[in-house]
């Protein structure tokens, strides 16, 4: 029997929730994979198998989901250190660097996951790439709406050596997609390996119209990969 992509996501998500213990402050991710983890945490709370959990949601969507499951919520101001965050990713490279944000929540995700003692990433095997940008899907960059074309052009120039195209993300009715923070997203499509990701990251973040980008470098402590042959757990600093 072949498992669907959604079933693989659920398997990885449930495995990640094994890391959750009572009395933890948890970063709750956003997206189709993280949704399964949040559902599972809600279920374990309801069954009394977990107690005294505080959730820190990475998006309005996750906040609504968590509230509907009666998961107690707070924020980074009240809890500047988070015990564990669980979230999906759009790409994972061999060094466990990630691309996130194709769902549009990259800024809050990065703030919350960057404040976490442990960050467990859940993916199905289709998300594993040889290098960041390798899936030929978008590397998202959150920008201020003010003169976004100017910023998109500057971004394109920064990334020019990697065969880059920059496109404004569109939402409903062909209007610009707006993030939870009231910003736009410029999706960068890359042809080539960027090499030194930290250098590219710094260059992107130096552009004044850029708020944040979707490369999560050296942040994941564990990546759980669900595939046809079962679940693999990859920890930082261990080889593939």
Q: What is the set of active-site residues?
A: 109
Running DSSP on this structure, what letter comes out for residue 90? Answer: S
Question: 225, 234, 235, 224: which is closest to 16 by C-alpha?
Answer: 224
Number of C-beta neighbours around residue 195 at 10 A: 11
Backbone angles phi, psi at 229, to 5 degrees: -95, 10
Distance in angstroms (rounded) separating the CA atoms of residues 143 and 155: 10
Cβ contacts of 126 within 8 Å, gap of 6 or more:
5
Q: Give the pair of three-digit tokens for residue 174.
A: 């062909």
């Amino acid at each position: 029997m072949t498992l669907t992509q959604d079933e693989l996501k659920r398997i990885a998500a449930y495995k990640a929730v094994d890391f959750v213990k009572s009395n933890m402050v948890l970063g709750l991710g956003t997206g189709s994979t993280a949704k399964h983890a949040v559902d599972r945490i809600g279920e374990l709370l309801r069954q009394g198998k977990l107690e005294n959990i505080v959730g820190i949601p990475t998006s309005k969507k996750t906040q609504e989901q968590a509230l509907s499951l009666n998961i107690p919520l707070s924020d980074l101001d009240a809890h500047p250190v988070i015990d564990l965050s669980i979230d999906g990713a759009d790409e994972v490279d061999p060094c466990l660097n990630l691309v996130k944000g194709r769902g549009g929540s990259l800024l809050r995700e990065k703030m919350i996951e960057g404040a976490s003692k442990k960050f467990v990433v859940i993916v199905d095997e289709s998300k594993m790439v040889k290098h960041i940008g390798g899936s030929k899907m978008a590397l998202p960059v959150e920008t201020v709406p003010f003169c976004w074309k100017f910023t998109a052009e500057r971004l394109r120039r920064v990334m020019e050596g990697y065969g880059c195209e920059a496109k404004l993300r569109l939402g409903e009715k062909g209007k610009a997609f707006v993030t939870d923070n009231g910003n736009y997203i410029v999706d960068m499509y890359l042809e080539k390996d960027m090499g030194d990701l930290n250098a590219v990251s710094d260059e992107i973040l130096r552009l004044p119209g850029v708020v944040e980008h979707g490369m999560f470098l050296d942040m994941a402590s564990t990546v759980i990969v669900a595939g046809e042959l079962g679940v693999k757990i990859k920890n930082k600093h261990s080889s593939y």
